Amino acid sequence: MYRIGIGFDAHKFGEGSSICIGGALIPFNKGLIAHSDGDVLTHALMDAILGALGEGDIGRLFPDSDEKYRGISSLELLREVGNILDAKGFEIVNIDMVFIGEKPKIMKYGEEIVNNYRDILNIGEDRINLKGTTTEGMGFTGREEGLASKVVVLIRRK
């Protein structure tokens, strides 16, 4: 049995000197405002997996109101989501991801990001794809107010 899930996330820029995307620490002249590390790509990925499982979303699983999640690495949360996927008897067929933003350019960190996800979710290189795009100056990402990501995942019963 196959199931599909979609995830979307956005975070607003604030003060800072780096951002974390897919577990890669990327030097930048701003940071992202968030309860966790503001890793928009990982948040969208987790929501896609949880959506495919019919398990709600990361807000339900890791509530903002819970102090234990303050500043936590989103990769740690992804590991928990991967454990839920495994425990429910599913595996990932493929993941397709779109990172949306003008700056910083993240594709030079693409291999590091994909490898982080492959390690945590235990999947092959051909099962995960990362793309980067801008919105041509339009909207909140175009005005460089923040970053966004969209992810689609297909899972199947093991």
Question: What residue ranges bind Mg ion (CB under 5 A)?
Answer: 9, 43
Collect contacts of 88-91 with beta carbons under 8 A, ≥24 apart.
88/53, 88/55, 89/157, 89/158, 90/3, 90/52, 90/53, 90/155, 90/156, 90/157, 90/158, 91/123, 91/155, 91/156, 91/158
C-beta of 57: minimal distance to Mg ion in Å? Answer: 10
C-beta of 68: minimal distance to Mg ion in Å? Answer: 16
Q: Which is nearer to Mg ion, 75 or 93 (CB)?
A: 75
C-beta of 43: minimal distance to Mg ion in Å? Answer: 4
Q: Which is nearer to Mg ion, 9 or 95 (CB)?
A: 9
Q: Which is nearer to Mg ion, 35 or 93 (CB)?
A: 35
- The residues, any chain, with a CB within 8 Å of residue 52's CB and separated by 6 or more, are 3, 4, 5, 90, 153, 154, 155
Distance (Å, whole) CA 96 – CA 152: 5
C-beta of 99: minimal distance to Mg ion in Å? Answer: 13
Q: Which is nearer to Mg ion, 43 or 127 (CB)?
A: 43
Tell me the residue nearest to Mg ion as measured from the CB. Answer: 43
